[in-house]
A and B are shown apart, each in its own frame.
Chain A
Amino acid sequence: MLLSVENLTKRYLSGSRQTTALDDVSFTLGKGETLGLAGVSGSGKSTLARVLLRLVPADTGKVHFEGEDWLTLSGASLRRRRARMQMVFQDVLAAFNPRATVGSVLDDPLRIHSGKRARDRKQDVATLLDRVGLPTGFADRSIREISGGQRQRVAIARAIATRPSLIVLDEAVSALDVSIRETILELLVELQQERGISYLFISHDLAVLRAVSHRIAVMDAGRIVETGAASQIIDRPQSPAARALIAAVPRLVTDAR
């Protein structure tokens, strides 16, 4: 098992009110597998992503990643191990320093993790750009000059730069145009087949999840209410939360009839 999450709980305190963002969440993810994480907004999907990426601390629970107790790592050893788990953010503009160029965005992870000299990294940046289908001349462009779809390709290139075994994709295609969405999903599937990367694919859109996921977990109010093979969840949803998500996708309702 690449990743196993056990009884993860996270509460937020705002004044006297307590919100449970994650409530006893457990699941596993194998090598080269895609787990789709579905749920309406506010169901705790993004909090789960942030806890896994060690951006916010969990209250209780355990995470085993590549045989290590992931939540107890800290300092330099955590920073070194971060190379193995990467993330693609939802907002394709906010995820980049507004002053960055495409080249500097891709060079940063290489500089931190590869130990190569600047001249050799330039070649690696070009290879990465080429791999995600962008012209190598893009390296000198400002991140603000390129389109949303191109920016998400850069985000994917940044995520694969350190050769991770797991990438968490938080609504990675939700902000994109429908026509671009499909080519990005194809790129992700290609990369998975080529490198055996596992994905935790977070989305509220079941149509997207069905296209890429092996298994789907449905979240509601911080709990995982249903887990199963992608086709099973979509064809025979058991929980009210899963049924509500399916009802929100008109095309799927027609399919079911």
Chain B
Amino acid sequence: MTLLRQTIGTGEGAIGAAILSLLILIAVFASVLCPGDPLNIAGPPLTPPFTQGSLPLGTDSLGRDLLAGVVHGTRTSLSVGLAAAAAAMAFGVCIGLAAGFSGGIVDEALMRLVDAFQIVPGFLLALAFVSVAGSSAHVIVIAIALGAWAGPARLMRAQVLSIREREYVAAARVIGAGPAEIVFKEILPNALPPVLSLSAIIVAAAILTESALSFLGLSDPNVVTWGSMMSEGRNVLRSATWLSIFPGLALLTTVIGIYLLGEGVTKAIGRGRPGS
């Protein structure tokens, strides 16, 4: 909680938190803000924005409300991005912790696995996985997480290797603490903060990957996403630019908001450290 307060205390953190809370509110209340299915036809096709009061952002080539699309797309983008990042973080932290703490052959094996995932571009991996396993929401989450867990794993291992040699870990062994207590009480809480500050980058990347996948048509066709909206807008890019611009702006705002919040968290953690 103090970390949250310190984060908001930094300028970046405050702006990032404000942007993200707004987006989360939009995502949560999407059905209240724009009731009904956003894929329903709401007016004449290709209505330009700011011309009709009921359709403030205009309509796409099938006559669907663009504002409803952007609002409901927020829900998809945020939930897929956050879920994928959470999965990647959880898996990466576990692997890094196991590798760093056990050492020896286990460490070697796990780190080669990390190498294998790190040398394949994350987007390519996600693309391959979705093409094989289909394009339902949780497959997309797993696909994105597959390309993102190696970074946190590597950082977590480095943190564990450094922290397990600290004097307070030796002190815990001297008083007779068991291995589980040492890992979860002494090492994990102190190793985690720098790894957590990676999560902003991962969430942002996950949202971008999700949009890219749906831009290529590899998303659930029954769910509206910013990527699929841009993809459809591409066909009429010259005559109806707004179809691509509005979802693009939404994506940009989200990623900037997450980056700013992440920057704030990193700063707040740095201030909380002794001697800095």
Contacts and interface: CB of A to CB of B under 8 A. Distances in A.
A89 B178 contact: no
B35 interface: no
A91 B167 contact: yes
A79 B178 contact: yes
25 contacts: A53-B170, A53-B174, A55-B170, A76-B178, A79-B176, A79-B178, A82-B173, A82-B174, A82-B175, A82-B176, A83-B176, A86-B174, A91-B167, A94-B168, A95-B167, A95-B168, A95-B171, A96-B168, A97-B186, A97-B190, A98-B168, A99-B189, A109-B176, A158-B175, A161-B175
B175 A162 contact: yes
A182 interface: no
A62 interface: no
A108 B172 contact: yes
Give the secondary structure class of A's interface: loop
A141 interface: no
Contacts of A158: 171, 175
Nearest to A110: B175
A87 B185 CA distance: 20
A112 interface: yes
Nearest to B189: A99
A80 interface: yes
Contacts of B121: none
Contacts of A95: 167-168, 171
Interface of A: 50, 53-55, 76, 79-80, 82-83, 86-87, 89, 91, 93-100, 108-109, 112-113, 144, 158, 161-162
Contact of B175 (A50, A54, A98, A109): A109
A112 B171 contact: no
A99 B190 contact: yes
Contacts of A79: 176-178
A108 B171 CA distance: 11
Contacts of A86: 174-175
Given A94-B167, A98-B190, A98-B274, A55 B175 contact: no
Contacts of A99: 189-190
Contact of A89 (B170, B177, B190): B170
Contacts of B170: 50, 53, 55, 89
Contact of B176 (A80, A89, A97): A80
B234 interface: no
Nearest to B186: A97
Contacts of A112: 175-177
Interface in B166-224: 166-168, 170-178, 185-186, 189-190
Contacts of A87: 171, 174
